[in-house]
Chains A and B, each alone.
Chain A
Amino acid sequence: KQEVTQIPAALSVPEGENLVLNCSFTDSAIYNLQWFRQDPGKGLTSLLLIQSSQREQTSGRLNASLDKSSGRSTLYIAASQPGDSATYLCAVVSSNTGKLIFGQGTTLQVKP
């Protein structure tokens, strides 16, 4: 059974810092891995999608990497801003079931 774990559960950093969020998954048979952002009371916004054959994806200040063999992904946020404060969720699409399996999320607070 696929399990997705995110560390840390919460993170507080001063504005301007670079930071890394971690995601691990137990079954390497995945279609892709996605990073989402969720603001309070809102749905999820897709940030980056990494296909199983890819190693990383970049969008603006965000960079996500994927190491399928070790079951790990990282989301790197450069020069953090208060507007980056949100919960970040990692999810994998299992090759066997096609279902999106989520981690519990990392709640990020960027202080001005």
Chain B
Amino acid sequence: GAGVSQSPSNKVTEKGKDVELRCDPISGHTALYWYRQSLGQGLEFLIYFQGNSAPDKSGLPSDRFSAERTGGSVSTLTIQRTQQEDSAVYLCASSLAFGNNQPQHFGDGTRLSIL
């Protein structure tokens, strides 16, 4: 597609449930990034992928969070046993390459609400 696509755009779920967020990057972009945007916290880096590999997972808030990328394209961010503090907008971005002077292109995000 023309831009980064994220789904669903909105997700409301009960505390304790698992959720899966999807990101479809711009075709040909090898680097993919996940961020979390919450009130009072600003934009927080979670994890990035170079191809299918995630060299640095230290930004993930807890072991309930995991992410994978297959085929160098689509990525999923999974949150297990969701908590109310997980409520936020989860943004995905992609760029031609990591660590290069290429701008990151963002999707519109998934707004996650935990009841």
Contact = CB atoms under 8 A, between A and B. Distances in A.
Interface residues on B, range: 20 to 34
Given A43-B91, A89-B43, A105-B42, A100 B33 contact: yes
A34 B48 contact: no
A91 B93 CA distance: 14
Interface residues on A, range: 20 to 34
Interface of A: 31-32, 34, 36, 41-46, 49, 51, 89, 91, 93, 97-105
Interface of B: 4, 6, 33, 35, 42-43, 45, 48, 56, 59, 91, 93, 98-99, 101, 103-109, 111
12 contacts: A43-B4, A43-B106, A43-B107, A45-B106, A46-B105, A49-B101, A51-B101, A93-B99, A99-B45, A99-B48, A100-B33, A100-B35
